[in-house]
Amino acid sequence: MFVFVSLIFLFIISIYFWIKKIYSYWSEKGFLQNSNVKFPFGSLTGVGKKFTTCEALDIIYREIKGKSPVVGIYFFFKPTLMVIDPELIKKIFVQDFTYFQDRGFYHNKNSDPISANLLTLEGQEWKERRSKLSPIFSSGKMKMMFHIVDLISSRLIEAIEKDLQNSSDLEMRNWAQRFTADNISSTAFGLDAKCLEDENSEFLKHGRRLFDLTPFETLKFFFTIGCPNFCRKLGVRTNPKEPTDFFLKTFLETFEYREKNNIQRNDFVSLLLGLKELLTPIELAAEAFLMFAAGYETSSTLMTFILYELALNPDIQQKLRDEIVTRIEENDGKLTYEMLNEFKYLDMVTNETLRKYPPIPNNIRMCTKDYKIEELNLTIPKGTAIELPVYSLQHDPEYFPNPNTFDPERFNDENVKNIKQFTFFPFGEGKRQCLGLRFGLMQTKMGIAKLLINYSFSSCEKTIIPMKFVPSAPFLQPKGGLWLKVEKIL
């Protein structure tokens, strides 16, 4: 009995020192590290229940600001370096990109083949995939698909008209999601999913399931980042199985049908099929899936936050409406692709929303070879994950005075020159900047323009003020959706 108790005691002591050793990684290497590290979540204690990841990292950011340009943190057991200095971020994104070209996102080709896409691929495989895909995201290709987004934005107005017959208080996140789901289903999958007509649409149901994560799924997501090799051995997948299987099956069926019937259309599907000699059907499906995942969630969230701020700031809402209406009237009542890119105030409102509510609040890079930080005389070891706190930088009063105030004038022609480089990067920077940026902004601006021409928005009893976020979501999502009073403009 004594021997057994002694063995248990030794085992516990060994585990204790093992954990202590892991959570001393950064201090042993000479880096300043986060003081509030707890087993087993590391620096993520409370994420998923009390607050979002970016809110947890923001606490660390404010603790370290002014003390060091970097701070060591822990994603579960994985040492991660958070970089808070814009000059060093510039080196990571641009000047020394070859040291940080990988994102470090988990993917598993065996258990979840469409998880291996442009977002997650690494090294030479990523370079080759990007060179093949870049041409399909050109400005000319976006213009080619403008008519699809225009048509669906008109359907959005028709659907809201019907909904207003029941109540003037509408949940606008719901409509933003249905709008972007129809856009992506049409352009990336070649389908008329009728998400605006039918809230029970299979496409919409599976799209929502991808992002409505439980606290456990959120922790699993970060666990795959913290322990990727271990997760691959276990066959862990980050994307829920049912929706990913649905999107894979849907794309492959569309692929086969278009090939068999020699169908060409001005959309992403035809552009992807043009790469069939360069990529396998599964690889093409992986990119279509990424288009949906990125275009559906980030754009609908951006639209939601824009509408929220416009509802709370009626003067800004009216100024934006005046710009849009005046320009359309000057063009004989037509809204074109070129005009959409000429709305200066719409750009300012969009950028200020992206600053205050970045859809992707944290940017991750992977150090692919030892990198010396000359200013600190310290070396970042190869294989280290780098965390770039987008949300914190964009809410830092040093860079954006009164950061909680919604002020589009920060981005007017004069003031935008004063924004410090690499303190505003909602979609990343450099060679790994989001390729779908143009399409995402096109559908967002089109949706907002059509809505403002037809309706005014204000808060109602169900509007949550101030905005709160879903703690379990890896990206910023409004808790309780977005309820607004919607009134027809006569």
Question: Is 434 assigned a ligand-binding role in the annotation?
Answer: yes
Neighbours of 370 (CB within 10 A): 12
Helix 281-312 vs helix 314-330: angle between axes, to the nearest 10 degrees?
A: 120
Query: Interior CA angle at 283 toward 280 and 286, to 5°?
Result: 155
Q: Report how far residue 448's alpha carbon sits from residue 438's, in angstroms, rounded to the nearest whole number.
A: 15
Tokens of 352: 């200020």
What radius of gyration do the chain's Cα atoms show? 24
Q: Report how far residue 415's alpha carbon sits from residue 348's, in angstroms, rounded to the nearest whole number.
A: 11
Please say whether the beta carbons of 349 and 302 come within 8 A.
no
Q: Which residues of 255-272 are buried (b: 16+ CB within 10 A; e: fewer)?
A: beebeeeeeeeebbbbbb
CA dihedral 409→410→416→421, nearest 10 degrees, is -170
Determine whether 179 is exposed, middle or buried from the number of CB atoms within 10 Å of its CB (0-12, 13-18, 19+): buried
From the list 28, 26, 37, the residue with the least C-alpha distance to 71 is: 26
DSSP state of 82: E
From the list 438, 424, 434, the residue with the least C-alpha distance to 351 is: 424
DSSP state of 407: -
Binding site, by residue number, is 434
Annotated binding site for heme, which residues? 434
